[in-house]
Structures are given as C-alpha cells and as structure tokens.
Amino acid sequence: MSLYDSILITGGGGMLARASADLLREKNLSPISLTRAELDIADEGQIAGAFAKYRPTLLLNCAAHTKVDLCEQEREKADAINGIAVGTLARHCRTSGACLVHLSTDFVFDGKLKRPYRPDDPVNPINAYGRSKLLGEKQLQASAPPRWLIVRTSWVYGRGGVNFPRTMVQAAKAGKPLRVVNDQLGCPTYAVDLAQAIFNLLDANARGIWHVTNSGQTTWFDFAKATLQEFGITAPVEPLTSAQWMEMRPNSAVRPTYSVLDNEPYAWKTEQPMRSWKSALADFHAAVERDGF
C-alpha cells in the first residue's frame, strides 16, 4: 500500500489545504479535501465516518482555529479544535495505520530566544492560540500513529484566504491608514512553498517535528512595506510598537517578539533549502495577477 493511495485533507477551505490539493493534482493524484462544513474535526463521530468512508493512508490536518485574537475569548473552542481533535485524529490514524501530518505554529514559543528556534527547543506559549496548538502537539504524540509529522510554520499567506499581504494591498487601495507593528521578528511563509516542503519531507521518509518557513526574517512593518512595493502601490505605512498596538486593541493576544524558526534540519533532510521570503512574495504577486486573490 502506498502512502499516497488515499489522501485526506482537513480544513479544505484554507490556504494550505488548497495549495496542497493543487500540488497533488499536478502530480496526477486525487486528494479528498474536506471543508469544515463537510468535516468538523471537533466532532468525533464525523471523524469516524470520514475514516470509514475514505480509508485514508495519509491525513494532512490543515483544520484549525487560526484567529489568534479571537482564541483569547474562545479558549474552549480553540482547545477543542486545535488540541483535543488532533488527539482524536491521531488515534484513528494509529488504528488504521495512516500517516498523520499536522500543522503547528511558531506561537508555541515565548519569543525570548534570540536565535532561530530549533524543533527541540523548549516550548512556552504566551497566548491562548499557542497553548491550544501545543495541546494538539501533545495529544498527537500521546496517541501517536506509526508515522507522523508535526510541521511548525509561521505567518502563512497565499491565494484563497484572508492573509496579511492581501489585507495590506486591499487597505492601501481603499486609502485606509496603515499602522503596522515593527518590533516582532518572524518569517512569512508562502502556502505553495509550505505545501511542497511537506511532501518533500514525506518523500524523504521524515518523522517527528520539523520547522518550515521561507528563509530570512523580517518584521510585520517591513513585510507590509515589501508587499506594497511588490504590488507597485505607494502608500504610507506607520510603524507601531507592540505596546502601542495593545493600547489600540486591548483585547488582542500577546505575541512573541521573536519567533524565527530554524529551517536547517529541513534543508539537511530534504536537500531542498527553503527560498527567501521575498522571492516567494514575488511569486505570490504573479499568481494574484494571473488568478486574483
């Protein structure tokens, strides 16, 4: 039986799920991609039904409660989707022998380190979203199937979803003031590159926890400026500190000041180093010009 005999993707309406499904179809594979309306992973009965119907050999879990600020008010919901449901998926994969790939986040770290975070660095999330995602990692490992991957990533954007570059471009075109945090360091990740990286890891027989982002680092402020420049838009962008942002939006989640992830283990394993975030942004622009947001 091949790993790719029956590929099930959860969270099918999201950017990574769409990019992954497109990539698989280019390889003449036929993934089953289910939206939340079609498969709510917080419902164990629906998960059991999906496993019985599709008998996946590979499950790519892209389903998540990703609204970081809202997770502060919806902690139980975040824990249910990002945490407990992952354990349910893992148990079904263990029983059926399916490989599970689960997406996690840079927000499992507290941002106090001043070098790129390695997969084995201590975790210490500082917001509800990060805690819920860490719960998912622990639930998966507690019920680990024969083969599994946890892929931590950051600042994901792509076509077919609400994301930072799209927000910046649309706000600038509408003449809205742009005020962006300039003291949080991380790395943007293009969903197309992330999808390819996941399958590179699978093809290299990787297991365990991996960090995958585009290469380099930047702040949200510089990411905003680079996006507008790439799209040929001239508009002022005002830098803010995290403290100023919290004053403006006191219900926002606290975010790590430094969450750059170390891609080197991925590059060694796959022999496919991740390209720079600016190169990826240019390709995103080209895709938007061709097909729209």
Classify residue 185 by its DSSP letter: E
- Any domain includes 23: yes
Q: What is the pLDDT of residue 1?
A: 74
Contact predicate 270/212, CB 8 Å = no
- Domain count along the chain: 1
Kindly state the tokens that stand for 97: 């022998």
pLDDT at 282 (0 to 100) = 98
Which tokens belong to 222?
């510089």
What's the mean pLDDT when you consider all of the chain? 97
Which pair of structure tokens corresponds to residue 170? 């649309």
In a domain, 107, yes or no: yes
Instruction: Give a yes or no: residue 99 inside a domain.
Output: yes
CATH number at residue 77: 3.40.50.720
> Distances in Å between the alpha carbon of 261 and those of 104, 108, 210, 258?
12, 11, 10, 9
Nearest to 150 by CA among 99, 193, 92, 79: 99
How far CA 83 is from CA of 71, 75, 123, in Å, comes to: 12, 11, 15
Q: Domain range for residue 198?
A: 7-162+188-215+260-273
Give per-residue pLDDT as tens, 171-211.
999 999 999 999 999 999 999 999 999 999 999 999 999 99
Taking only the tens place, the pLDDT of each residue in 5-60 is 999 999 999 999 999 999 999 999 999 999 999 999 999 999 999 999 999 999 99
Specify whether the CB–CB gap between 185 and 259 falls below 8 A. Answer: yes
> Tell me, what's the pLDDT at 154?
98
Q: Taking a C-beta distance cutoff of 8 angstroms, is the pair 193, 214 a contact?
A: yes
Among 4, 54, 117, 129, which one carries the catalytic annotation?
129
3-state helix, strand, coil in the chain (%, to 5): 45, 15, 40
pLDDT at 213 over 90: yes
179 falls within a domain: no
* The overall pTM is greater than 0.95: yes
Neighbouring residues of 110: CB distance < 8 A, sequence distance ≥ 6: 124, 125, 126, 256
Q: Give the model confidence (pLDDT) of 233-273 as tens digits.
A: 999 999 999 999 999 999 999 999 999 999 999 999 999 99
The pLDDT tens digits for 75-86 are 999 999 999 999
Q: Read off the pLDDT of residues 112-163 as tens digits, 9 standing for 90 and up.
A: 999 999 999 999 999 999 999 999 999 999 999 999 999 999 999 999 989 9
Q: Is 237 helix (H, G, I), strand (E, B) or coil?
A: strand
Q: Looking at residue 161, what is its pLDDT? A: 87
Can you spell out the DSSP letters for 136-182?
Answer: HHHHHHHT--SSEEEEEE-SEE-TTS--HHHHHHHHHHTT--EEEE-
Query: Does 153 reside within a domain?
Result: yes
Residue 228 lies in a domain: no
Asked about 129 being catalytic, the answer comes back as yes
Q: Is residue 86 part of a domain?
A: yes
181 within a domain of the structure (yes/no) = no
Rounded distance between C-alpha atoms, residue 130 and residue 281, angstroms: 26
